[in-house]
Amino acid sequence: MVPAMPLLPAALVNRLLPQLRPLRRGALASLVREDIFDFYGRLLHPQLQLHRVFARVLSCREEGDSSLVLTLAPSANWRGMQPGQHVALTVDIDGIRHTRRYSPSVLPGGQVEITVKRQEGGLVSGWLHEQAKPGDYLELGQAEGDFVLPATPPAKLLLLAAGSGITPLLAMLRALRAQAYQGDVVMLYYGRRRANLAHLTDLASFPGLRLHICLTGEAPGDGESSGRFSAAQLDELVPDAAERRAYACGAHGFVASVRAVWQARALPALADEAFTPPVWQAADDLPITLTFARSVGQLPGRTGSTLLEQAEALGLRPAFGCRMGICNTCSCHKRTGAVRDLRTGLVSTEPDEAIRLCISAPVGDVILDL
Q: Which amino acid is at 298?
A: Q
Fold that domain 156-274 belongs to in CATH = Rossmann fold (3.40.50)
From the list 37, 11, 12, the residue with the least C-alpha distance to 24 is 37
Q: Where are the beta strands (DSSP E) in 143-240?
A: 156-162, 184-191, 210-215, 225-226
Measured at the CA of 335, the angle between CA 332 and CA 338, to 5 degrees, comes to: 90
Biggest CA-to-CA distance, the chain: 66
Contact 82, 148 (CB under 8 A): yes
Contact 214, 226 (CB under 8 A): yes
Distance, in Å, from the CA atom of 217 to the CA atom of 308, rounded to the nearest integer, reads 33
Domain 10-140 grouped into CATH 3.40.50.150:
no
Measured at the CA of 327, the angle between CA 321 and CA 330, to 5 degrees, comes to: 55
Distance, in Å, from the CA atom of 21 to the CA atom of 171, rounded to the nearest integer, reads 30
3-state DSSP assignment of residue 232: helix
Query: What pLDDT, on a 0 to 100 scale, did the predictor assign at position 281?
Result: 56
Fold that domain 287-368 belongs to in CATH = Ubiquitin-like (UB roll) (3.10.20)
Q: Where are the beta strands (DSSP E) in 172-261?
A: 184-191, 210-215, 225-226, 245-250
Distance, in Å, from the CA atom of 239 to the CA atom of 115, rounded to the nearest integer, reads 31
Q: Which amino acid is at 258?
A: V
Could you state, in order of their start, the residue ranges of all structural domains in the chain?
A: 10-140, 156-274, 287-368
Distance, in Å, from the CA atom of 147 to the CA atom of 249, rounded to the nearest integer, reads 9
3-state DSSP assignment of residue 272: strand
Distance, in Å, from the CA atom of 234 to the CA atom of 259, rounded to the nearest integer, reads 13
Length of the chain measured in residues: 370
CB neighbours of residue 290 within 10 Å: 22
Residue-level pLDDT, tens digit, the chain, 370 residues:
554 567 889 999 999 999 888 887 766 777 788 889 999 999 999 999 999 999 999 999 998 888 999 999 999 999 999 999 999 899 989 888 888 889 999 998 889 999 999 988 889 999 999 999 999 999 999 998 889 999 999 999 999 999 989 999 999 999 999 999 999 999 999 999 998 899 999 999 898 899 999 999 999 998 899 999 999 999 999 999 999 999 999 998 899 999 999 999 999 889 999 887 766 555 557 889 999 998 888 999 988 889 999 999 888 989 887 788 877 889 999 999 989 888 877 888 888 899 999 999 998 899 999 9
The sign of the torsion formed by the CA atoms of 273, 274, 277, 282 equals: negative
In the 8-state DSSP scheme, what is residue 15? H
From the list 365, 333, 364, 363, the residue with the least C-alpha distance to 351 is 333
CA distances from 53 to 74, 90, 110, 300, 337 (A): 7, 10, 13, 41, 39
Query: What pLDDT, on a 0 to 100 scale, did the predictor assign at position 284?
Result: 59
CA distances from 295 to 287, 298, 303, 335 (A): 21, 9, 21, 14
